[in-house]
A and B are shown apart, each in its own frame.
Chain A
Amino acid sequence: MQSSRLKRYRHLVGRFDGLLTRTPVITYGLAIPFAVMGTVDARAAFALSVGMMAISLLSTAVGWVLKRMGQGREVYMLVTAVLSSLTLAGLSRLPLGGFQMPVGMLGIYFPLLAVNTLTFFLVTRCDEQKSLPANLAQAARSVLSFAFFVMAVSLFRELLGKGSIFGVKVLSSLQISTVLMPFFGFILVGMLSAFCRQVNRSIRAWCLIKDREEAMDAKTEEVKA
């Protein structure tokens, strides 16, 4: 029988499925190139997040339609890749002042979003039995989780590696170039993944311990009575 505190915790995080639990980068290991190489600058991470959101929502919508038409995986992956690349080409031409520069900073990693595994995963997981808004909400949650992750990692790496935040110099003395190297990205993502797992396990262990204590207290009260 599941204890109530644990149940409440599971129910709470379950409501944020994709955002807090079963997150794309940490749990499933999706979009690794972008989490490792695209997080050397916060502006680049922002551009990645915007691009990922645009193509994921569009691809989920089109994938949902194709699945309802009974099309197979080959078809919707092909359509996803082509549509995503066209969307990214359009996004790169956005006249928004601060957007073109981080897109240029990302080099090949912005156009590479067209074949990223997160979008393919969202389209594959898209359930044609559910409504379109429900599927879009699930996709949005996953991409928001990706966005939080890359923004947090990029702020950390930019601060330590360049001493700036969003290109604005804040620490002139601190510039550890190792932080901007690919190997540090891999190690950071791996460590964060382990850290999040530890946090989850600790909270669940705490809930279990507290529930057992309450159950023991309740039994003692019963016996006394």
Chain B
Amino acid sequence: MNLIHSRPPHVRSHESNFSVMGDMVISLVPLYLMAYFFYGSRTLVLGAVSVITYTVLDFLCTFLSSRRVGILDLSPVVTGLLIPLMLPASIGFTPVIAADLFAIGVIKQPFGGLGQNIFNPAAGGVAFAVLTWSDSVFRYPVPIESLGNAAARLVSSPAASLRLGATPNYPFTDIFLGIYPGPMGGTGVLILLACFGYLVIRKTISWRPTAAFLGTAALAAFCFPRITTGRFQSVLYELTSGLLLFGAIFLINDPATSPKSQTTRTIYAAIAGVVAMIFRYLGAYEEGLVFAILLMNAFSLFIDMRYEKIRHRERRALYAEQQTETV
């Protein structure tokens, strides 16, 4: 009998790491195309530099720790693509490389590498870049205007206006199409929703955690608006500014760092939505999503274990009931 020892979840489907990560890479390509359209070829160069740095470092660390280097492992490519998308197009190469180094050297490899990391490497790397280069990370080029010269005129994003209690001055169509300053991959609502739809149809991710995250964030924005022009406007601007939508799709659904079952992942996402809004409202930076994700990652296993205990108690109660019925 051939017994295979592996960590849960025990997947019995056509899915593999390659297919899941392949779908993630495909879903990130339109975001890079959108960024290229708005800000020029610099965005593609940033993405390429990040992917090459992250992949090389990951393979090197895996090789040095005497583990097998998986050539078909696309997870470094995914994280390498994610990091620049959370930063402005005008960011220098140093913050991106530093974020990659931090993500590999502190967040991923010391915990055991692929699938063993507790914290999201992309969120950790960007959090480090936010703390070190807090001036450049929250200054964005104006879309289309900065084609060819990404650092031409840097402005603040709608998230900064919300923080000051001012209503952002962008029409709904611009927000839907992504023609407003913000992180490279965080602005185009239409494209982000299309990428989300692709991942859901391919069954790479489920719609429930994203919906739960956005639901609780919307509820918080509705109940505690930071602007005076109405609660629905507050919900609209809060959800479409910064990295909230991007994080809801790509960071919340990370298979290694989020809880394992559908129900627990939904609960985790709902709590993460509230924590993300707390960091936005009370935190020091206009976008605290990456810090909220890191904090919630610490609780993934806790939520799984608590839920299992409750289910176990329910099953025992049901079993006891069935026993008394047969007797």
Which of A110-118, A151-159, A174-182 forms part of the interface with chain B?
Answer: A174-182
Contact string against A for B residues 102-116, beta-carbon threshold 8 Å, 1 for contact and 0 otherwise = 000010001000000
A178 near B128: Cβ-Cβ < 8 Å = yes
What are 9 A-to-B residue pairs whose CB atoms are below 8 Å? Answer: A176-B132, A177-B132, A178-B128, A178-B131, A178-B132, A181-B131, A187-B106, A190-B110, A191-B106
Q: Which residues from B are CB-within-8-Å of A134?
A: none
- Kindly report which residue of chain B lies nearest to residue A178, judged by CB atoms: B132
- Kindly report which residue of chain B lies nearest to residue A181, judged by CB atoms: B131
- Kindly report which residue of chain B lies nearest to residue A176, judged by CB atoms: B132
Report the separation of the CA atoms of residues A187 and B132 in the bound assembly, to the nearest whole angstrom: 15
Min CB distance, A33 to chain B, in Å? 21
Min CB distance, B241 to chain A, in Å? 25
Min CB distance, B8 to chain A, in Å? 28
Q: Which residues from B are CB-within-8-Å of A181?
A: 131
Q: Which residues from A are CB-within-8-Å of B128?
A: 178
Q: Which residues from B are CB-within-8-Å of A78?
A: none
Contact string against A for B residues 155-180, beta-carbon threshold 8 Å, 1 for contact and 0 otherwise = 00000000000000000000000000
Min CB distance, B121 to chain A, in Å? 14
Q: Which residues from B are CB-within-8-Å of A177?
A: 132
Within 8 A of B (CB), among A155-199: 176-178, 181, 187, 190-191, 194
Report the separation of the CA atoms of residues A177 and B106 in the bound assembly, to the nearest whole angstrom: 18
Beyond known contacts A178-B131, A181-B131: 8 more, CB 8 A cutoff: A176-B132, A177-B132, A178-B128, A178-B132, A187-B106, A190-B110, A191-B106, A194-B110
How many contacting A-B pairs (Cβ < 8 A)? Answer: 10
Residues of A within 8 A of B (CB): 176-178, 181, 187, 190-191, 194
- Kindly report which residue of chain A lies nearest to residue B131, judged by CB atoms: A178
Q: Which residues from A are CB-within-8-Å of B106?
A: 187, 191
Q: Which residues from A are CB-within-8-Å of B132?
A: 176-178
Contact string against A for B residues 132-143, beta-carbon threshold 8 Å, 1 for contact and 0 otherwise = 100000000000
- Kindly report which residue of chain A lies nearest to residue B106, judged by CB atoms: A187
Q: Which residues from A are CB-within-8-Å of B131?
A: 178, 181
Report the separation of the CA atoms of residues A177 and B130 in the bound assembly, to the nearest whole angstrom: 12
Min CB distance, B225 to chain A, in Å? 32
Report the separation of the CA atoms of residues A187 and B106 in the bound assembly, to the nearest whole angstrom: 8
- Kindly report which residue of chain B lies nearest to residue A177, judged by CB atoms: B132
Contact string against A for B residues 58-71, beta-carbon threshold 8 Å, 1 for contact and 0 otherwise = 00000000000000
Report the separation of the CA atoms of residues A176 and B131 in the bound assembly, to the nearest whole angstrom: 10
Report the separation of the CA atoms of residues A194 and B64 in the bound assembly, to the nearest whole angstrom: 14
Min CB distance, A92 to chain B, in Å? 33
Report the separation of the CA atoms of residues A177 and B132 in the bound assembly, to the nearest whole angstrom: 7
Q: Which residues from A are CB-within-8-Å of B110?
A: 190, 194
Within 8 A of A (CB), among B67-123: 106, 110
Report the separation of the CA atoms of residues A194 and B65 in the bound assembly, to the nearest whole angstrom: 13
Report the separation of the CA atoms of residues A181 and B127 in the bound assembly, to the nearest whole angstrom: 13
Report the separation of the CA atoms of residues A176 and B95 in the bound assembly, to the nearest whole angstrom: 12
Q: A178, A190, A194: which has the most chain B beta carbons within 10 Å?
A: A178
